[in-house]
Structure 1
Amino acid sequence: MCCVGPLVLLAFGIGGSWISNLSAMEPYRPIFIGLTLVFLGRAFHQLYLVPQVCAPGMPCIDPITTKRHRLIFLVVGILLLCLLAVPLLASLFY
């Protein structure tokens, strides 16, 4: 919320000094970062470390579905890690 929210508002044309007042969620930023990393770790564990047990006829038995899930996880994981790095890298540009 603290990182993506202002970007969404900028995409809708809301900008300037109004966005600088959006610091109400800043104290909760470490909690959100921790939850993000926990959920990414859990998804990685489920996709790569736990062997999948599937009954015949289930969609998880198809290897294309597993590859698709892993690709989606990779894309989302990279995007989330980039968003988490924005506040750290912002000091290089200001």
Structure 2
Amino acid sequence: MNEKESNLPMLGGIIAAIGAGVCCVGPLVLLLLGISGSWIGNLTAFQPYRPVFILFVVMLFGYSGWKIYRPVEECAPNTACAVPATQQRRKVIFWLTTITAIVLVTSNYWILWFA
């Protein structure tokens, strides 16, 4: 398995997390950039699809975690998953993107403190 294939679930998870958080993080980002107006309150078009995005986030990160933390015995010799340095780097990237996804998915609960 090549490295690009193993990163696709994490990239998909981040994109889904952005989709889940766009209804809440989007207006805050616009306000932080100095863009304001009453139309910002109407940026809730993705709100009905939020549970679907969250489901994709959980599924994709679950798959990524399974691929990263599977036993080394399942890796073919001389592949990227069999190299300890590569595995450690993937674990760090996995947890950084997981934390980012959690922040985005839970944004509608904590974003109210900053608005």
Same fold (TM over 0.5): yes
Distance 1:24 1:56 in 2: 48
Per mean C-alpha deviation after superposition, the further-off stretch among 54-63 and 26-35 is: 54-63
In 2, the alpha carbon distance for the partners of 1:8 and 1:70 equals: 30
With the length of structure 2 as denominator, give the TM-score of the two structures: 0.64
Equivalent residue for 1:18?
Answer: 39
Match of 1:3 among 21, 24, 43: 21
CA shift, 1:23, in A, is 1.4
Judged with a 3 Å threshold, the aligned counterparts in structure 2 of structure 1 residues 33 and 7 are, in CA distance, closer, same or farther, namely same
For residue 51 of structure 1, what is the aligned residue in structure 2? 71
Q: Tell me what 1:36 maps to.
A: 57
Unaligned 5+ segments in structure 1 are none
Greater RCO (Cα-Cα under 8 Å, separation 6 or more): 2
Q: What's 1:90 paired with? A: 111
CA distance in 1, matches of 2:114, 2:77: 54
State the TM-score, normalized to the length of structure 1: 0.76
Change (3 A) 1:91 1:12: closer
The residue identity in structure 1 corresponding to 2:26 is P
Residue type matched to 1:24 in 2? A
Instruction: State the Cα distance separating 1:18 from its structure 2 match.
Output: 3.3
Distance 2:54 2:41 in 1: 21
Distance (Å, rounded) in 2 between the aligned partners of 1:9 and 1:93: 11
Q: Is 2:82 the counterpart of 1:71?
A: no
**Alignment partners' CA distance in 2, 1:88 and 1:8:** 13
Unpaired runs of at least 5, structure 2: 1-18
